[in-house]
Structure 1
Amino acid sequence: MQVSTRSISLRTLILASSIAVFPVSSFAQSPAVPEISKEIPKGPISGTTLPKAYVRDMARIAYLWGWPMVNMHNRQMVFSKVPENGLGDGILPVGPIGRVTMLTDYIKPEERGVATPNQDVVYGFGIFALEKEPIVFQVPDFGDRFWVYQLGNQRTDTIGGMGKLYGSKPGFYMIVGPEWKGDVPSGISGVFRSPTNLAYIIPRAFLDDTKEDRAAIQPLISQIMTYPLSEFDGKMKTKDWSKIPVLADPAGGKAGAGGETQWVKPELFFEELPLILKEVPPQPGEEALYAWFGSLLEAASKNPEVAATLKETAIETEKELMKQIHSYSYAGVPVGNDWVAPMNGAEFGTDYFSRAAAAKANIFVNPRRESAYFGQEYDSQKKRLNGEHAYTVTFPKGQLPPVDGFWSLTLYDAEHFFAPNEINRFSLGTKNKDLVYGEDGSLTIYVQHGKPAGDKAANWLPAPKGDFELFIRAYSPKAEIMDNSWSPPPVLKAK
């Protein structure tokens, strides 16, 4: 059958007319496009049967993620048993919760409570439980002396800067917990809020390696104190830190031997992780991660096989992954001549690997703007540093670490602690007033086991017989360090 052209045209006109007269208002009544939900999606379903491979892989992630926070939790538990300010084993500054304890000189080489210590400053340490009460801390007038107070939370992130580089003034300051809503008393110059109730303070005050400066610093450190807000009266309190008692090491550590005190016991980790999930609020975006770990812990509470796998995996992960990242090679990024530098110390955010690597190798790192660090385990030929050989580190004229504070080159044994030597020297740098410079203005440091002859002895950094590491600190680094245009010189094996 044929259809005429006229019929098609007529039908087209009728259709066009019907469309043209369709009410415009009808389009406004069509369904609205729904908004994308911003609610957190539902987490894992309770009661799901979990295969062992899944439990094992998730446990590894949870162990890496939670290791620094379990570490801090256990330090707080240990300090909660300390009855008064004192020196653990005559070495480590320890005190009750809420009370800082100060040393009066460089930390002793036998210290094993914190890996990678330095001998450039007078240290202090205090740990807080802010759910009980805010803490007041005092700042004396340090004059021209370089100083910095490290303020950190349970994640080992900074909660604010205090020190010479910040232009901080003498006076009284306060640290409060995440939920505190009280009034700030008159006389408090500044308030720092911690996102976790566990917080800590580590005062550092630079000390020249001279008898005169050791005497000059004592009146200053006597004013470094912390105490609950209820004890604040607006008057500067003092304490003679040279007269505090010697206490047993509350952590049961072994001074002068081996590695760091074992603050994280892998066989207990997954028994402690539920406490961490309650103590440490999730960062934005971590809610799903918390639900994921929570589902693993719930399964373990109902299934002994899951619980056994968690424990087994924690022990394996400590022996494998955590042992490996104890190396400085993983605590940062390469910056030239095989030196490695952390870029986000104490500001890790969601960089869980870097947080764990720092916690294992050097837990109380400062933010980089306060102190830049450079770690080294190899010579220029990429051979492991070892006391069987002699090495030199030469800073050309004008190429010392560029700082507004101070710098040092420190030697550690393979466990990141000071290596005993005949002259009791563990670092060289700004604190030393007798360094010998070359005729061209360069500074060469001699790193070797045996004492060098002549003037070289003044620049000698004694090495142990076995493997060792080198570590540069640059406090209040200048722009050349911050923008990575400066890097340390190579470590050359002597011919």
Structure 2
Amino acid sequence: MSPRRQHLRILTTAIALGLAAMAAGGVQASAATPAYQEGYDLGLEAWKYGLPLVKMDQTFRIQTSVDVPDGRGRGPVNRFSHVRVLANASAHDVVAPNNDTPYSIAWLNLSHQPIVIHVPKVNRYFVIPLYDPYTEDFHNLGSVQRTEPGDYAVVGPGQGRVKLPKDVHRIKSRYDRVWIIGRTLNYGSADLGNTRKIQNRYRITPLSRYGTGFRPKPPGNPDTTPEGVPMPSGLAFFDKLGYLLRRFPPPAADSAKLQELAQIGVGPGKRPSTDSALSAETKQGMIDAVAAGPGVLQTAVTVRYVTEAPKHNGWLVLPTGRYGTDYDYRALVTQVGLGALTPSEAIYPVGQTDKTLVPLNGSKDYVVHFEPGQLPPVDAFWSLTLYDSSGYFVPNPIDRYAIGDRSDLNLNPDGSLDIYVQSTEPSGPAKAKNWLPSPTGAAFRLTMRLYEPTRAQIPGILDGSGWDPPAITAVP
């Protein structure tokens, strides 16, 4: 048996044993009563279904808990809060931030009126994506879409007959809360001034103030301290989910899933914590399901990795941004990359193991080797970013969190490229240019970003029949 197949079998067996142990643990925790098991099993389904909605609400409450834009992506509703620098190791507001584009973040409140977004003329890659409360990227403004400079009104539910000024384009939103996490390409620290000038030209205006030169007045006593908003645990998670499902009615396609979850009192407006029809055993199963959820998702990530990564040289390559009724996958992306774009904007290959399927660890050195002519096929840019096991940047002595086509890379004489992923600086200035620092002795993962992948290549990148990221090779 080849080493690759041997590791695959070992890893698959380990996953199977882990799942069996989790299932057995769930049953044993309450003497295997049917009521407990129903609460646990359906509770897990409800937790995965509801995680994106609850996580988005938590993010909304944290980011809008200040009343002036703070330059770190937090600010009041209907205002852009531009992040003026590239994300670094202190960035923990969202998992898997990029180190390529300063963010322009806003939360739109459409409950009173449409909100107008002004898109300026931009001579580089940019995207202003619109996300609904379920994490669906339902509309993108930007360079990939060839968005013309101008004004775009985001129109909420019940506002279909609102008349818009001439030349203002209409974008329909199913919900009255929309998240924007805009990206503007940056070419390095010397280019930040240019990027900020572009950010300054993005504008948000309530429709009633459109054409008046509206500029929000700053508060007299600004509150710049963000609130800590923990994720609800236990039955409080399902109570919060019930509130949010009523606040943001789910699409009709979710009706079958909601009918299933109603068996344990989960649904729009429902509060399982006070539901007298649920037994104590059922409620305990639900409580345990919320506690087990993150581990179950991590196992799901590993299962997907084992089944899909061999098609892509050991990388997990899956479409993001729109999920339909694939609730498990939607939850998975929420956990590892909230705010991911659709494939026409970006594809995110994820590497968690070397080419023999051994998990990546900073105790080893690795090389990512691109053959001549095999750099990522993109029309905008590409990068390779390193994260710790929780999805955040790793502090390092050179403050380098990503490396890519805008880096001062050293190519080999034949045009190939070697990127050195290791915890200590490689010997020689040429290799040091291509160094991506890893954590000393700790697990990590890599994410490659392909922004505006060449359109004709997208299907092959996703299904493994076209370009693939190069294998991650451990140095002997």
- Give the TM-score taking structure 2 as reference length: 0.83
Structure 2 alignment gaps of length 5 or more: 1-33
Aligned: 1:459 with 2:434: yes
| Contact in 1 for aligned 2:48/2:328 (Cα 8 Å) | yes
1:279 aligns with 2:243: no
> 2:204 aligns to what?
226
Q: Check 1:463–1:271 CA distance in 2 against 1; reply closer, same or farther (3 A cut).
A: same
Structure 1 stretch 129-138 or stretch 72-81: which is displaced more? 72-81
8 Å CA contact 1:332, 1:341 repeated in 2: no
The yes-or-no answer on 1:442 pairing with 2:410 is no
* Cα pair distance change 1:149/1:214, threshold 3 Å: same
**What are the superposed Cα offsets for residues 403-448 of structure 1, whole Å, 9 maximum, x if unpaired?**
011100111111111101110001111221x211000001111111
Contact in 2 for aligned 1:329/1:376 (Cα 8 Å): no
Residue 328 of structure 2 aligns to a residue in which SS? helix
What does the per-residue CA deviation read over 1:47-73, in whole Å, with 9 as the maximum and x for residues that have no partner?
Answer: xxx933323322211111111011112
C-alpha displacement at 1:390, in angstroms? 0.9
Aligned pair partner of 1:321 in 262, 284, 296 = 296
1:302 maps to which residue? 276
1: CA distance, partners of 2:377 / 2:216: 35
TM-fit CA distance, 1:381 = 2.0
Name the amino acid aligned to 1:99: R
Match of residue 475 from structure 2: 494
Quote the residue 2:225 is aligned against. 248
The answer (yes or no) to whether the contact 2:315–2:351 under 8 Å persists in 1 is yes
Name the SS for the 1:247 alignment partner. Answer: coil
Secondary structure class of the residue paired with 1:97:
coil
Question: Given that residues 332 and 354 in structure 1 are in contact (C-alpha distance below 8 angstroms), is that contact kept between their aligned partners in structure 2?
Answer: no
Aligned equivalent of 2:19: none
Confirm whether residue 357 of structure 1 aligns to residue 341 of structure 2. Answer: no
Distance change >3 Å, CA 361–CA 304, structure 1 → 2: same
| 1:480 CA displacement | 2.3
Closer, same or farther: CA 115–291 of 1 in aligned 2, 3 Å: same
Say if 2:355 is the partner of 1:380.
yes
* Identity over aligned pairs, percent: 28
Query: SS in structure 1 opposite 2:90?
Result: coil
Shift of 1:85: 1.3
Aligned twin of 2:22: none
Once residues 491 and 52 of structure 1 are traced to their aligned partners in structure 2, the CA distance between those partners, rounded to angstroms, is 44
1:209 is matched by which residue type in structure 2? G
**Rounded Cα–Cα distance in structure 2 between residues aligned with 1:391 and 1:51:** 49
What is the aligned partner in structure 2 of residue 51 from structure 1? 35
Q: Report the AA paired with residue 97 of structure 2.
A: P
In the alignment, which residue of structure 2 is the partner of 1:477?
453
1:108 to 63, 80, 88: 88
Matched, 1:126 2:106: yes
**By how many angstroms is 1:295 displaced?**
4.7
Q: 2:287 corresponds to which letter in structure 1?
A: E
**Does 2:312 align with 1:336?**
yes
Between 173-182 and 294-303, the greater mean CA deviation after superposition: 294-303
| Aligned partners of 2:385 and 2:447 also within 8 Å | yes
Q: Does 1:167 align with 2:146?
A: yes
**Judging changes above 3 Å, is the alpha-carbon distance between structure 1 residues 182 and 96 closer, same or farther for their aligned structure 2 residues?**
farther
The aligned counterpart of 1:7 is none
Preserved contact between residue 195 and residue 281 of structure 1 (Cα < 8 Å): no
* 1:236 CA drift (Å): 8.6
CA separation of 1:360 and 1:113: change in aligned 2, threshold 3 A? same
Asked whether the equivalents of residues 116 and 205 of structure 2 are also in contact (C-alpha less than 8 Å), the reply is yes
Partner of 1:96: 76
Q: Which has the higher contact order (CA 8 A, sep 6+)?
A: 2
Alignment check: 8 A CA contact 1:331 1:358 kept:
no
Residue type at the aligned position of 2:316: V
Q: Which has the larger radius of gyration?
A: 1
Distance 1:312 1:413 in 2: 28
Q: 1: CA distance between counterparts of 2:255 and 2:286?
A: 24
Deviations 1:431-486 (A, max 9, x none): 21x21100000111111111112211111111111111111000111122432201
- Shift of the 80–111 alpha-carbon distance from structure 1 to 2, 3 Å rule, reads closer
Taking the aligned partners of 1:141 and 1:236, their CA distance within structure 2 comes to 20
Partner of 1:8: none
The structural deviation recorded for 1:141 is 1.2
Partners of 1:327 and 1:150 in 2: CA distance: 29
**What is aligned with 1:135?**
115
Deviation at 1:379, TM superposition (A): 0.8
Equivalent AA in structure 2 for residue 472 of structure 1: M
CA contact (8 A) 1:277 1:290 kept: no
**Residues 95 and 342 of structure 1: is their aligned pair in 2 closer, same or farther, counting only changes over 3 Å?**
same
In the alignment, the residues of structure 1 paired with residue 108 and residue 285 of structure 2 have an alpha-carbon distance, to the nearest angstrom, of 30
CA pair 309-227 structure 1, distance change in 2 beyond 3 A: farther
**Structure 1 gaps, min length 5:** 1-49, 253-261
Given that residues 97 and 129 in structure 1 are in contact (C-alpha distance below 8 angstroms), is that contact kept between their aligned partners in structure 2? yes
User: Per-residue deviation at 1:98?
Assistant: 1.9
Paired residue type of 1:375: V
1:181 correspondence with 2:181: no
Q: Which residue of 2 aligns with 1:216?
A: 194
**Amino acid in the other structure paired with 2:330:** R
Task: Give the RMSD, CA atoms, in angstroms.
Answer: 2.6
Cα distance in 2 for partners of 1:299, 1:470 equals 40
Q: Which has the higher helix share?
A: 2
**SS of 1:214 mapped into structure 2:** helix
Tell me the secondary structure at the aligned position of residue 360 of structure 1: helix
Q: Report the AA paired with residue 247 of structure 2.
A: E
| Partner-residue secondary structure (3-state), 2:252 | coil
Once the two structures are superposed, residues 365-398 of structure 1 have per-residue CA deviations (whole angstroms, 9 ceiling, x without a partner) of 0001110010001111221111111111111111
Number of positions where the alignment pairs a residue of Structure 1 with one of Structure 2: 425
| Equivalent position of 1:259 in the other structure | none
Contact 1:100 1:225 in 2 (8 A): yes
CA positional deviation for 1:328: 9.8
Aligned-pair distance for 1:194? Answer: 1.7
Q: Pick closer, same or farther for the CA change 1:396–1:235 going to 2, 3 Å.
A: farther
| Residue equivalent to 2:379 | 404
Taking structure 1 as the reference length, the TM-score comes to 0.80
Partner letter of residue 475 of structure 1? Y
User: Residues of 1 paired with 2:79 and 2:171: CA distance?
Assistant: 17
Query: Which residue identity does 1:219 align to in structure 2?
Result: K
Q: Distance in 2 between matches of 1:238 and 1:423?
A: 39
Q: Which residue of 2 aligns with 1:156?
A: 135
In the alignment, the residues of structure 2 paired with residue 115 and residue 271 of structure 1 have an alpha-carbon distance, to the nearest angstrom, of 25
1:353: how far off? 0.9
